[in-house]
Chain A
Amino acid sequence: MAMDKETRKKLLEKGLVRYKQERDYFKFLSDMLALMPDEEMQLSKEVTDITTERYETIIRCAEEDKPFIAGYFNAAPEVYTAMGLPWYLIMQTPFLAASAPYLMEDVDAAEAMGLGTDWCTATRLSLYYVEAGLSPPPTCMIGLLHPCDAATMLHQAVVRNEKWRGIPMFCTDPPYFEDQRGIDYFANELKKMVTFLEEHTGAKLDLDRLREVIKESNKQYELWAEYSQLRRAVPCPQGWGMGGPQCFAVAQIFQVGQPRGTAWFRRLVDITEKKVKEGRGVIPNERIRYFWFDLLPFGWCFELMPWLEEEWGAVMAMEMFGFTPYTPVDTRDEDTIFKGLAKRNLYDAPMVRQARGIADYFASDIARVVKDYKIDCVIWPGHMGHKDGSASTGIMREICNELKVPYLHIGLDLFDRRYTTPEECKDKLSKFFSAMGLG
Chain B
Amino acid sequence: MIREFNVDGVIAERLVMCDNWTGEQFMTGEDLKEAGIPYMRLDRDYVNVGAGQLRTRVQAFLEMLGR
Given A114-B25, A114-B41, A153-B24, do A387 and B19 touch, yes or no (CB 8 Å)?
yes
Task: Tell me if A149 counts as interface (CB < 8 A to partner B).
Answer: yes
Interface contacts (Cβ under 8 Å), in number, total 46
Evaluate contact between B19 and A153: CB separation under 8 angstroms: yes
Task: Tell me if B23 counts as interface (CB < 8 A to partner A).
Answer: yes
Range of interface residues on A (Cβ < 8 Å): 10 to 19
Q: From DSSP, what is the main secondary structure of chain B's interface residues?
A: helix
A156 to B27, CA, bound (A): 9
Q: Chain B contacts of A157 at CB under 8 A?
A: 23, 26-27
Task: Tell me if A160 counts as interface (CB < 8 A to partner B).
Answer: yes
Task: Tell me if B14 counts as interface (CB < 8 A to partner A).
Answer: yes
Q: Which of B22, B27, B31 contacts A116 (CB 8 A)?
A: B22
Q: Chain B contacts of A160 at CB under 8 A?
A: 27, 30-31
Task: Tell me if A352 counts as interface (CB < 8 A to partner B).
Answer: no
Evaluate contact between B26 and A148: CB separation under 8 angstroms: no
Q: Chain B contacts of A120 at CB under 8 A?
A: 19
Task: Tell me if B58 counts as interface (CB < 8 A to partner A).
Answer: no
Q: How far is the CB of B42 from chain A (nearest CB, A)?
A: 12
A149 to B23, CA, bound (A): 9
A148 to B18, CA, bound (A): 11
- Within B7-33, the residues touching A (CB, 8 Å) are 14, 16-20, 22-27, 29-31
Q: Chain B contacts of A148 at CB under 8 A?
A: 19
Evaluate contact between B41 and A119: CB separation under 8 angstroms: no
Q: Chain A contacts of B14 at CB under 8 A?
A: 116
Evaluate contact between B27 and A149: CB separation under 8 angstroms: no
- Within A109-146, the residues touching B (CB, 8 Å) are 113-116, 118-120, 123, 127
Q: Chain A contacts of B24 at CB under 8 A?
A: 153
Given A116-B14, A118-B16, do A156 and B41 touch, yes or no (CB 8 Å)?
no
Q: How far is the CB of B8 from chain A (nearest CB, A)?
A: 20
Task: Tell me if A150 counts as interface (CB < 8 A to partner B).
Answer: yes
Q: Which of A113, A118, A156, A387 contacts B23 (CB 8 A)?
A: A156
* Identity of the chain B residue whose Cβ is nearest the Cβ of A148 in the assembled complex: B19
Evaluate contact between B26 and A387: CB separation under 8 angstroms: no
* Identity of the chain A residue whose Cβ is nearest the Cβ of B33 in the assembled complex: A114
Could you write out 28 A-B pairs with CB less than 8 Å apart? A113-B26, A114-B26, A114-B41, A116-B14, A116-B22, A116-B25, A116-B43, A118-B17, A118-B22, A119-B19, A119-B22, A119-B23, A120-B19, A123-B19, A148-B19, A149-B18, A149-B20, A150-B19, A150-B23, A152-B20, A153-B19, A153-B20, A153-B22, A156-B27, A157-B23, A160-B30, A160-B31, A387-B19
Minimum-distance CB pairs A-B, first 5? A153-B23, A149-B19, A116-B22, A150-B19, A119-B22
Binding site for B on A (CB under 8 A): 113-116, 118-120, 123, 127, 148-150, 152-154, 156-157, 160, 387
